[in-house]
Structure 1
Amino acid sequence: MSSAKASVEEAGSQRLDKWLWAARFFKTRPLAVEAINGGKVHLDGQRAKPGRSVRPGTRLSIHKGQLEWQIEVKALSKQRRPASEAALLFEEDEQSRLKRQELVQERRAAGPSLRVEGGRPTKRDRRRLSELTGK
């Protein structure tokens, strides 16, 4: 049996925070817990707690920044695996995928946004300012 099939379970249940981490929606489990507690993750249309059980067939709504995923859990994983294997753990709704891709395209078309950075200017910034002012 391949390692991908060995680490993916078809039945049983798993904690929501651990599944979100294994499916690579969040980089760490504490980040997943923070998102769940902040109301960014809904399980079957309702807010959930990090310890809530997830089973294949469960529907999740995940909000990260401006992006939103509407997914159905297809399988569980005991551990975090490569992204190609993590993609097998869920299936995204077609409408959700199209909406998310459209939003990403709009952001790319808008170009880089101006960031206002606080604090002191860096050495490079000071040199550029000196060149502009001639001092």
Structure 2
Amino acid sequence: MTDASARVDAWLWAVRIYKTRSLATAACRAGHVRVNGERAKAAQPVRPGDEVRVRISGFDRHLVVKQTITKRVGAAVVEASVDDRTPPPPPRELTAFVPVRDRGAGRPTKRERRDIDRLRDRQS
């Protein structure tokens, strides 16, 4: 179950950061995974004590490897395998609200445009 090192993509999948191993591999290829501050390829080995930073949904997760595992395990074993040092997310009041229009809704009407401008002026 444990050994000296494990592939970073397999480890991220095993500790349930990504739902599938192929998603973990794709994240490594896209540059969303860093091991000890350096961009990581999927096959890069991780060892206990390594710091892994993963960008998911626009936020960084800071993880420290306690134990290397390559098979997906239960939540209790995951807690023993990773030290999650991710800072808490900022309060919702501090994050900017971004209005989203439905896809295919076309151009905004004059009234909608004024509402958008009013909202943008209020946030500045």
- 1:106-126 CA-to-partner distances (Å, cap 9, x unmatched) read 28x999x7562559xxxxxxx
Structure 1 residues 109-120: aligned runs within 5 Å: 116-117=102-103
Structure 1 residues 94-113: aligned runs within 5 Å: 96-98=86-88, 100=89, 102=90, 105-106=91-92
Q: Which amino acid aligns with 1:68?
A: D
Pick the structure with more helix per residue: 1
- 1:25-81 CA-to-partner distances (Å, cap 9, x unmatched) read 100011001101101000110111100111101111110012211111000123101
Runs of 4 or more consecutive aligned structure 1 residues displaced over 4 Å after TM superposition? none
Instruction: Answer yes or no: is 1:30 the counterpart of 2:8.
Output: no
Cα-Cα RMSD: 2.5
For 1:115 and 1:76, the matched residues in 2 are separated by 44
Structure 1 residues 11-90: aligned runs within 5 Å: 11-90=3-82
**Number of positions where the alignment pairs a residue of Structure 1 with one of Structure 2:** 103
The TM-score with structure 2 as length reference comes to 0.70
For 1:39 and 1:114, the matched residues in 2 are separated by 27
Residue 81 to residue 115, structure 1, CA distance change in 2 (3 Å) = farther
For 1:49 and 1:92, the matched residues in 2 are separated by 21
- What 5-or-longer segments of structure 2 have no aligned partner? 106-124
Between the two proteins, what is the percent identity of the paired residues?
30
Residue 84 to residue 106, structure 1, CA distance change in 2 (3 Å) = farther
Residue 114 to residue 23, structure 1, CA distance change in 2 (3 Å) = same
